[in-house]
Amino acid sequence: MAEKLNYQQMASDIVKLVGGTENIQSVSHCMTRLRFILKSEDKADTAAIKKMPGVLGVVSAGGQYMVVLGKNLPPIFEAVQKQFNLTEGQNTDENLDKDLVAEKKPLTVKSAALAVLGYVSASVTPMITGLVAGGMLKVLLLIITLIDAGFADTSTYTLLSGVADACFYFMPIFVAYGAAKKLGGTPIYAMICAASLLHGNYTSLVAAGEPVTLLGLPVRLMSYSSSLLPALLITLCAFYMEKFFNKIVPGIFKSLLVGLGTITVTMIFGFVVLAPLGGYLGNYLAVVFGFLGGTVGPIAVGVLAACLPWLVMTGMHMALVPFMTQALTNPGYDAVFRPAFILHNMAEGGACIGVALRAKTAELRSEALGIAFGCIVAGVTEPAIYGINLPRKSPMIGVMAGGAAGGVVAGLLGARVFVMGYSTILALPIFQETIVAAAIAVVVAIVVAALVTFILNPEKETANQ
């Protein structure tokens, strides 16, 4: 019988073992991981953290130090916040310049790419749960309208659909918040700048279609609702503008002039250069997504689903979320990323089923089936990866085979996600008219993963487990 975990003590021990509060720049979380940004990862005692009961693993990637906690995450994260006053994304602004200088490394193509991915991923992460919530509400409304067509004409539908669309429509504001927290800037400045792209003064000019100038400079009129890249560029500009004005404005006038200078200069650049540039980049990405979905889609989905267990273990799967979000905005569907995420989770569950079928003890069989249920129905894979599949090695081959097979089938049948949802079988309605194709791919991923794992017989490898 597993001992009952003391979450308050675990929170205290984890913070101490990562180097204490003085070594923590910020702390956040996803569904299963406590994510730290540390001033120095060398001060963290990774070996000791891994030995703690309830800890499934430790991953360092993309500038984040992640403690994998699975279902134990929510109470531990809450305990960390209460005990140490470490809120999500909190940074120490006064030491920002010093910390950046201390950790400065030679610029290479790899380091630059990792920095960009880390910035984009951290910017999007805070709004993921909101996107999922809105997407699932849209699915619920769709189901109700299928049962009662007249529901779409009611005020109830109108109001609730507005709630469902809000996170997507105001995406630039939420992206700006996450980006500012990642950079260590003042979020409200970036959010004001992003919100100005959605303000009626600007959108009315877009609707009118007449030529517009700002200080004599031409403004390219585009719609930025549900956009991602413009907010990322504008927030980056706001961060450096804030630093600049903090340096040149005397202390007595900072509270009056720093914010004024930051939002004004940022949005002169924003309206004239940055927002249009982000819009164009988004359109080019849409062309790439359309190419992938229309040509090499089956191969792309299969390869990504097969690689995802290793991306999840390194934490780099979060770097794909921005592309998923951008695809849902333009071209309006995701034929690669979310399908691969869902099929990977199904394959993890299928591999656990294969382990259960070969299990020599009732305890292991029960554990494997319970974790398989968590993968398939709840969409949580870390317990499967670290607790069942990775220690036995060969089930990971089953996971990759199942993900690849399901991905190829999904691509060939044209499965596409149209709204954001979580990676669980309960989210199949997000595929809308391609739901049958997605369901077939899910079955293929589970069956192939279970069958390959069963044939490879992982119990031969771990007779003592």
Whether the Cβ atoms of residue 145 and residue 151 lie closer than 8 Å to each other: yes
Joined tokens for residue 439: 């369901």
Q: Residue 454: what pLDDT?
A: 94
Whether the Cβ atoms of residue 388 and residue 370 lie closer than 8 Å to each other: no
pLDDT per residue of the chain (465 residues) written in tens, 0 to 9: 345 788 899 999 999 999 998 888 888 877 678 888 888 888 999 999 988 988 888 888 767 888 988 778 888 988 888 888 765 554 333 333 333 333 455 667 767 777 777 788 778 878 877 877 888 888 888 889 888 889 989 999 999 999 988 988 898 999 999 999 889 899 999 999 999 999 999 999 999 989 999 999 999 998 888 788 899 999 999 999 999 999 999 988 988 899 999 999 999 999 999 999 988 887 777 777 667 666 777 888 999 999 988 887 766 676 677 778 778 877 888 888 899 999 999 999 999 999 999 888 888 899 899 889 988 988 878 788 887 888 888 899 999 999 999 999 999 999 999 988 778 898 899 898 999 999 999 999 999 999 999 999 766 655 444
Whether the Cβ atoms of residue 227 and residue 115 lie closer than 8 Å to each other: no
Handedness of CA 417, 422, 424, 428 (dihedral sign): negative
User: CB 387: neighbour CB atoms within 10 A?
Assistant: 16
Whether the Cβ atoms of residue 119 and residue 181 lie closer than 8 Å to each other: no
CATH code 3.30.1360.60 for 7-93: yes
What are the residues facing 219 on neighbouring strands? Answer: 212
Residue type (1 letter), 380: V
Whether the Cβ atoms of residue 421 and residue 366 lie closer than 8 Å to each other: no
Distance, CA of 371 to chain centre: 22
DSSP state string for 19-43 = T-GGGEEEEEE-SSEEEEEES-GGG
Q: Residue 146: what pLDDT?
A: 82
Give the phi and the psi of residue 18 in degrees, each rounded to 5.
-85, 0
Residue 270 CA to residue 265 CA, distance in Å, equals 8
Q: How many helices (H) and strands (E) does the chain have?
A: 21, 6
Residue 381 CA to residue 377 CA, distance in Å, equals 11
Q: Residue 125: what pLDDT?
A: 76
Give the phi and the psi of residue 214 in degrees, each rounded to 5.
-130, 110
